[in-house]
Structure 1
Amino acid sequence: MSCPELAVLGGTPLFEKPVPVGQLYFPEWEKYEAAMRGIFQRQYYTNQGPLTQELEQRLQERLQVRHVICVVNATIGLMMAADALGLRGKVIVPAYTFIATAQSLSWTGSEPLFCDVDPITHQLDPECVERLLEEHGAEVSAILAVNLWGDACRQDRLAELARKYAVRLYYDSAHGFGCELDGKPLGGAGDLEVFSFHATKVLSAAEGGCICTNDDELAARLRNIRSSYGAGPARQVLRTSNGRMSEAQAAVALLSLESFDSILARNEAMFHAYRQGLEGIQGVRLLTPASVSKTNYQYVVCEIDERAFGLNRNELQQVLSAENVVARRYFYPGLHRFVPYADQFPDASARLPVTEYLCERVLQLPIGQMVDAEGAGRIAAAIRMAGACAESIRRKLREAA
């Protein structure tokens, strides 16, 4: 195998332009233009317009839930959820997730209580959850679980703990739209679930999200929190937010929904190309969703074992960057190391060994509209070559430092 083929060693990059992570599926221009013209003709731009109402109805049917409340983005959705649930005190949340998950609690007056995750699936560890419930008792008002990577938490076990300790249970399912658990779509678990429709997600509104619930009273509160105008039955709420989804966002989401099955099929082909290309590489573990009966192939996530592979995760990231492959460290660092949580929980690292481990080893690879199955195979081949040429690469990186 010729090491100089790699760009970091002087070869030509695999791709002419940077290939990003994230889905980034854009609708066809003609359909997008027609949708925008319709909005201008109706002159109805936001505040529960006809497209937003149509989107909510179609999502309710697809997700098999009583209520879908569309919002401007998933972070606002999580903040609204905390208020609607009346959370106070501590909320158990994984330390290994996106910062907005914990910040939604800080913004609404609750305190995140960081929990470790399962070393194999990366999902919230129910045994760690129970230890925290025992330790903190009545201080805990809820469990905020996160369904990561197109997979799902152990929802049955978490529901059992929520009942046993009389706390609320809800889900950040930003990665989960289109996944199924035992043949049923994610969306109806716990008190509510929040999905993201950011451009990096499989269902895109360019930016946006929704909250799903089967609780009529909770839905009424959420609709009144969403904006000062309210919607549906009036409810007294602590505060309102500018959480309304615009008609332009709803239009993009409806177009994305039209193409959703083809998007999943394309993602699946890329995932299988990665799996075939990475098979047998020492020190590289491709995470395969195992809990769900159907995944959305939202992300391609690997763990890099430096001793077996020859390079650490950060060094491999540099190799791929030279190839114009924008691989990313997900999630890095753990939430307990972010401001202000690092000062609030100075001893958290000792209680979160799996989170610490994953933060140093996990690498996310491109999938979505900006790459295809052939490109995925080329990226996997570059990773294989990097492992074979690890000594030369390390020497080159040291010289460049």
Structure 2
Amino acid sequence: MQKLLLDLNVVLDYLDVSRPRHKAVSDFMNRNKGKVKFLFASYHYDTLFYLVKRLKLEQEVIDKFLKDFDVNLVSTSGRNIIDAKSFKDIEDGILVSVCRRIGDDCYIITYDEEMIRNFERAVRPEVFKVEEPKTIPMLDLKLEYLSLSEDLEESLLRAATRARYILGDEVRQLEEKIANYVGTKYAVGVSSGTDALVLSLRALAIQRKKKEFFDKEDLVITTPFTFTATGEAILRAGATPLFVDIDIDTYNIDPKQIEKAVKKYGKRVKGIIPVHLYGQPCNMDEIMRIAKENDLFVVEDCAQSLGAKWNGKQTGSFGDMGCFSFFPTKPLGGFGDGGMITTNDEKLYELLLMLRKHGGRDKYNVEYIGYNARLDTIQAAVLLEKFKHLDDFNERRREIAMNYNEQLKDIEWIKTPYEHPKAYHVYHQYTVGVMNGKRDEFQKKLKEKGIQTMIYYPVPLYKMKVFAKNGMEVIGELENVQKVEKEVVSLPIEPLLGKEEIKSILNKVLNDS
């Protein structure tokens, strides 16, 4: 999506109906609404307030303008001012420097003739035309940042000024918000989603076996159709992964196969890690029933499912613990790695607090083999701001998914995602099945047309060298996994995708059908 940096003169033309260019700017703004990202420099924002008062307009006029056109402020740093000194008009130079920082897809919309002559991406409103994007990415993290930049930067500055970089107030606040949101008593911020899984399993080993680690003969049931971290965490906790097949419709672990595994291996099975893949909740009614009947622990892998619900209840609140990832691409993503563990068990909560800080309450006299696995305060500051938009972004993903479903439903060789009647799917990924051996050619054609796609996950865990070398058990032939690994492909479902981009994606998919 193109980013348009609005010059002050353009905004004033829009706000003041008496100015001769008001109609031209109004037409421009309305014509491009939803097709581009409108931006406004923070140093112009203060000037705008002063000028609006002189024009005897109310402050609400500015607020309405920003809201109506989803205009976001972008900061002006000291570096921008230094870079601008080479310009005859330093204000022009600052704006050009900001535009260059944003990137090649940013344009300045202005009536400043000097700027238009000296900067190739400065254009009048009447001249600008929306270009169809050359590439539509799976996720546009730059666009997300620009959309939230004002609040994000304020939160970061506040955290930096407080200078409590290790387990600062922001970590505690985020833990409270996530616990309240998910519906658990406790939440523990950790350094990644992977570490969330490892610490959870370690805490369960200490609680249930009174040992630091599980034993090699201990089995933990999970799906092989997931990211490496799920199985890797089982190995790192000392146990052996037991892979079972998935449900062909949801791509999630099949409870019937879990039951088969328990019957075959008996007391060797210690627990289950269901993965809420792509944002679709697993069948937690059946999984919790099996766990209760066989005294098994349940650790939910919620890396892709923050906000997803099963029968109205949030994922991460069913099992002994729920493990979330804040990797930048996740539903709630930071500026780096981060994770969270939710639980209702006070003893597990206390163990998690120790394990994330080297294994003890007293760092000079630790009790367990621990980790340096704390969530950074700076990441928590970012996540607190992004958390405010989580539900809106999830709803937007659902809207895009429903649009895709409607447009693709009549293509016989494309299987659109299934959503279980009890599930609230957040569509972290919009993953279709491309049948009849057409997946690779389909992906190749979309790439040629500028549509980025991804295959999650091309190599199931049971085929990976790490599990062959370090131990695993497998139930059956995993027929469903073998089938879907050759068919699945994910289309872009960025919550900030514009209408024109979604239309472009659908047109190109439908033209290849």
TM-score between both structures, scaled by the size of structure 2: 0.68
Residue 90 of structure 1 and its aligned partner are, at CA, apart by 1.3
Structure 2 partner of 1:35: 155
Residue 213 of structure 1 and its aligned partner are, at CA, apart by 0.4
Structure 2 partner of 1:9: none
Contact 2:299 2:320 in 1 (8 A): yes
What is the percentage of aligned positions where both structures have the same residue? Answer: 24
| 2:396 is the alignment partner of 1:276 | no
| 2:388 is the alignment partner of 1:262 | no
- Find the partner of 2:455 among 329, 351, 357: 329
1:229–1:349 distance in 2 versus 1, CA, 3 Å: closer
| CA offset digits 1:296-335 (Å, max 9, x no partner) | 23211100112xxxx6211111111112222111111111
Contact 2:194 2:229 in 1 (8 A): yes
| CA offset digits 1:160-179 (Å, max 9, x no partner) | 21122222121101111111
Contact 1:15 1:325 in 2 (8 A): no
Give secondary structure in 2 for the equivalent of 1:170.
strand
Structure 1 partner of 2:490: 364
Contact 2:359 2:368 in 1 (8 A): no
Query: For the residues of structure 2 that align with 1:239 and 1:291, how far apart are their CA atoms?
Result: 43
Structure 2 partner of 1:246: 376
Residue 23 of structure 1 and its aligned partner are, at CA, apart by 7.4
Contact 1:198 1:204 in 2 (8 A): yes
| 2:420 is the alignment partner of 1:290 | yes
Query: For the residues of structure 2 that align with 1:187 and 1:329, how far apart are their CA atoms?
Result: 25
Residue 384 of structure 1 and its aligned partner are, at CA, apart by 1.9
Query: For the residues of structure 1 that align with 2:406 and 2:489, how far apart are their CA atoms?
Result: 18
Give secondary structure in 1 for the equivalent of 2:199.
helix
Query: For the residues of structure 1 that align with 2:495 and 2:281, how far apart are their CA atoms?
Result: 24
| 2:254 is the alignment partner of 1:128 | no
- Find the partner of 1:182 among 311, 316, 319: 311
For structure 1, which runs of at least 5 residues remain unmatched after alignment? 1-12, 388-401
Give secondary structure in 2 for the equivalent of 1:149.
helix
Root-mean-square deviation (Å)? 2.6
Give secondary structure in 2 for the equivalent of 1:134.
helix
- Find the partner of 1:302 among 428, 432, 453: 432
Contact 1:94 1:117 in 2 (8 A): yes
1:261–1:61 distance in 2 versus 1, CA, 3 Å: same
Quick one: which amino acid aligns to residue 121 of structure 1? Answer: T
- Find the partner of 1:51 among 138, 146, 170: 170
Residue 370 of structure 1 and its aligned partner are, at CA, apart by 5.9
Quick one: which amino acid aligns to residue 364 of structure 1? Answer: S
1:347–1:313 distance in 2 versus 1, CA, 3 Å: farther
- Find the partner of 2:236 among 103, 107, 115: 107
Query: For the residues of structure 1 that align with 2:469 and 2:476, how far apart are their CA atoms?
Result: 14
TM-score between both structures, scaled by the size of structure 1: 0.85
Contact 1:274 1:377 in 2 (8 A): no
Q: RCO greater where, 1 or 2, for CA within 8 Å and sep 6 or more?
A: 1
1:34–1:383 distance in 2 versus 1, CA, 3 Å: same
Residue 252 of structure 1 and its aligned partner are, at CA, apart by 1.0
For structure 2, which runs of at least 5 residues remain unmatched after alignment? 1-130, 206-213
Contact 2:196 2:341 in 1 (8 A): yes
Structure 2 partner of 1:20: 138
Quick one: which amino acid aligns to residue 42 of structure 1? Answer: R
Give secondary structure in 1 for the equivalent of 2:369.
coil
- Find the partner of 1:375 among 489, 495, 501: 501
Residue 289 of structure 1 and its aligned partner are, at CA, apart by 2.3
| 2:196 is the alignment partner of 1:77 | yes
| 2:340 is the alignment partner of 1:210 | yes
Q: Which protein has the larger Cα radius of gyration, Structure 1 or Structure 2?
A: 2
Query: For the residues of structure 2 that align with 1:293 and 1:148, how far apart are their CA atoms?
Result: 12
Contact 1:90 1:110 in 2 (8 A): yes
Contact 1:336 1:349 in 2 (8 A): no
Quick one: which amino acid aligns to residue 324 of structure 1? Answer: G
- Find the partner of 1:198 among 311, 327, 330: 327
